[in-house]
Amino acid sequence: MADTEHALALGQEARLFVRNHQNGVLSTLSKRLDGFPFGSVSPYMLDHEGHPVILISTLAEHTKNIDADPRVSLIVHPCAEDMQAAGRVTLVGRAERLPDKAGFGARYLRYLPQAESYFAMHDFHFYRLRVEDVRFIGGFGKIHWIRPERYAPPAAPALAAAEEGILAHMNADHAHNLREYCRHVHGVEVLDAAMVGIDCDGFDVRADGHVLRVNFPEPVLDAEAARAALVELAKQARTTAPA
């Protein structure tokens, strides 16, 4: 039991690390170069199952490579002076094209609005990396392989279905709370704050143009649980508000 709990905790830590970033290095197997690894920087975001989703052109080398061999990896790491000391996660799996481009577009563009011009082009499509293995390096001496079922978030289809309604409510009626969350959790005072996404692990706020992550202490699986967690966080924020 202790080993299982430890594995789940590591999986959650790796997942939260990936949620906290939006850029990585995507590597595919080069068709042009006879299978040599081919890597380049790539923005991404996660779907509600924890799989990265990437917007790429049919003309891109990555697309040609994926069409020939869907095996890929995505390494996620912060921009740090000492890269060896910083944490990083490598997600390994197979990429698949999403048939419904419009179905994922709104969520993707909330996180990455700079991609709107690419999204409008007919030759850009979403690809999902279905995670099959995870390599997590949390710092010196903290190195683990994590099975995909340990990395995966708990299923929360009800929360995914309610996401847009929660965002509309929070942004219309509780923008002041969003600003307080940023101050309480990240120690920053912001003028403009909008919730851009919510998932079982937490939510993301675009604060003065930057996306800030706020994690829940425990996973939430539906709108009612999310509301309770947001109310509790607002109470905590009030206790640290400046006089």
Last residue of a domain, one of 128, 151, 174: 151
Provide the CA 92 distance to its chain's centre, in angstroms: 15
Give yes or no: residues 88 and 143 share one domain: yes
**pLDDT one-digit tens code per residue, 137-192:** 987 778 999 999 999 999 999 999 999 999 999 999 999 999 999 999 999 999 99
Give yes or no: residues 186 and 69 share one domain: no
Give yes or no: residues 25 and 144 share one domain: yes
Give yes or no: residues 52 and 18 share one domain: yes
**pLDDT one-digit tens code per residue, 192-236:** 999 999 999 999 999 999 999 999 999 999 999 999 999 999 999
What is the band of 122 on the pLDDT scale with cuts at 50, 70, 90?
A: confident
Give yes or no: residues 125 and 161 share one domain: no
Give yes or no: residues 174 and 128 share one domain: no
Q: What is the extent of the structural domain holding 86? A: 2-151
Give yes or no: residues 30 and 135 share one domain: yes
Give yes or no: residues 118 and 232 share one domain: no
| H/E segment holding residue 233 | helix 223-239
Last residue of a domain, one of 151, 177, 199: 151
* pTM listed for this prediction: 0.92
Q: How many domains does the chain have?
A: 2
